[in-house]
Structure 1
Amino acid sequence: MKRSGPLLTLLTGLLLALFMLSLNATTETGSSSYGGDAPDTAASSPTKGTAKGTPKPSAKPTRSPAAKPPSKGEYAGRTDDDTSAVSISVRDGKAIAYYCDGRDTESWLKGNVEDDGSMRLTGKHGAKLDGQITGKKVRGTVDVDKATRKFTADKAVKPSGLYRATTEVRGAKVDGGWIVLPDGRQVGILKRDGKPAKAPRIDPGTGTVQVDGDVVTARPVTP
């Protein structure tokens, strides 16, 4: 009986140690299982770029190229104050214009037409014309005899347009200019030896005109 006491105590200690080891293993296993089920906060949390939103590059608006003016054309119209007429003929970057009040004031002007349709034409005695081809019109200003007038010249279709005749009739030098407007009206000046007067009416179909009993042919004007 005295020898069984120490053995019993040793056995009890071993059982207690085994119980503690088993309990510790169970606790670690539970903790590991819980950790495995825990959501991956790093994977699920949004990044800074996602939270703020990644800005997309803004698409630049595309501009359609401006339409180039026609390489040739005839234009005729009136000044805004309706006192005079203006006609312009355009060919391949060149232009010639005629300003006329139908009584005693006229001017022939010429110059270049830029790629954007703008033109700056010049004539004698400081005359000038600044214009812009827009669609089927030329809009601008003309300066003649120190007077500036705005004008609009519409696209002209034959027989409308600009005509001129230079010849000699009964010993006199004749120089005539005519503007045939789209509505059929005519504005022109005929000079005899440099003296201006209202031009007689021409036949736009043939360009013929009676000057002092003789038949003179006026021809379309181009640069």
Structure 2
Amino acid sequence: MKRPGPLLTLLAGLVLGLFMLTLNSTSGTKTASSSYREQSPSASPKTPAKTSPTPSATPSPTPSPSKPPVANANYAGRTDDDAASVAVSVRDGKAVAYFCDGRYKEAWLRGRVNNDGSMKLTAPNGAVLDGRIEQGRKIHGTVKDEGRPYTFTADKAVKPSGLWRATAKVRGAKIDGGWIVLPNGRQTGIVTRDGKTAAAPRIDPETGTVTVDGRQLTARPVTP
């Protein structure tokens, strides 16, 4: 039996070497691939969500205090042309006024007084009074009657000065009298008898008594 020659031995060694080389190459590829997968993150890191700052509550503006209502008071005065008298009585934000020339022209006006002292009073006959109380001491304004404007100033009046009125029936006639007593004692008034006007007799401002057509009446201070 012949022994294998050197050529067969060399061939066997060559085959073994190729096998080992192929095995090493395969192991190295797997190792590198595994290493890459371990180093690569499986997912991108999440960016933390930004939180909007909570807006601080804005304080509500403090409302400016409103002006208090005007004080209750009476006012009396004359028009700038001295043609008529004007009296105004203010109570609880309301006002009543009397415009009178002492002969035949008169108007009773009513309305509200705003907190700033301004007022617009109206009468059934169409007369209008626009005025404003100034520092609680006087009223400057205008009365427009029968299309004619009369500017006036009425100073604060203390009883017995101010606005007076009396109503009654005398000898079957309806009597309606109005009087304005100025702080200096001067009086202006009209008495209407069943719709007919005439100058009014003087009243006693201390008691309000007045005699009309032979009958004694009592005039009283007028308030809204």
Establish whether TM, by shorter chain, passes 0.5.
yes
State the shift of 1:67 in Å.
6.8
State the shift of 1:78 in Å.
0.2
Q: 1:138 to 1:66 in 2, by over 3 A?
A: farther
Aligned residue in 1 for 2:147? 146
Instruction: Please say if 1:216 is aligned against 2:217.
Output: yes
Aligned residue in 1 for 2:84? 84
Q: TM-score, normalised by structure 2?
A: 0.69
* Preserved CA contact (<8 Å) 2:70 2:93: no
Query: For 1:33-90, what per-residue CA distance to the aligned partner results, in whole angstroms no more than 9, with x for missing partners?
Result: xxxxxxxxxxxxxxxxxxxxxxxxxxxxxxx989756420000000000000000000
Query: For 1:114-161, what per-residue CA distance to the aligned partner results, in whole angstroms no more than 9, with x for missing partners?
Result: 010000000022210000000200000001111101000000011000
Give the % identical residues: 65
Q: TM-score, normalised by structure 1?
A: 0.69
Aligned counterparts of 2:95 and 2:140: Cα–Cα separation in 1: 14
Instruction: Please say if 1:179 is aligned against 2:180.
Output: yes
Aligned counterparts of 1:120 and 1:108: Cα–Cα separation in 2: 13
Q: Note the residue ranges of structure 1 that are not aligned, 5 or more in a row.
A: 1-63
How many pairs were matched up?
160
Aligned residue type for 2:96: I
* Preserved CA contact (<8 Å) 2:70 2:115: no
* Preserved CA contact (<8 Å) 2:84 2:99: yes
1:193-208 alignment, distance < 5 Å: 193-208=194-209
1:126 aligned counterpart, secondary structure:
coil
Q: 1:217 to 1:74 in 2, by over 3 A?
A: same
* Preserved CA contact (<8 Å) 2:76 2:85: yes
* Preserved CA contact (<8 Å) 1:68 1:117: no
Aligned residue in 1 for 2:10? none
Aligned residue type for 2:160: P
* Preserved CA contact (<8 Å) 1:111 1:121: yes
Shifted more, 159-168 versus 64-73: the winner is: 64-73
Aligned residue in 2 for 1:73? 73
State the shift of 1:191 in Å.
0.7
RMSD of aligned alpha carbons: 1.5
Aligned residue in 2 for 1:113? 113
Aligned residue in 1 for 2:158? 157
Bigger CA radius of gyration: 2
Aligned counterparts of 2:194 and 2:182: Cα–Cα separation in 1: 27
State the shift of 1:170 in Å.
1.2
Q: Which of the pair is proportionally richer in helix?
A: 1
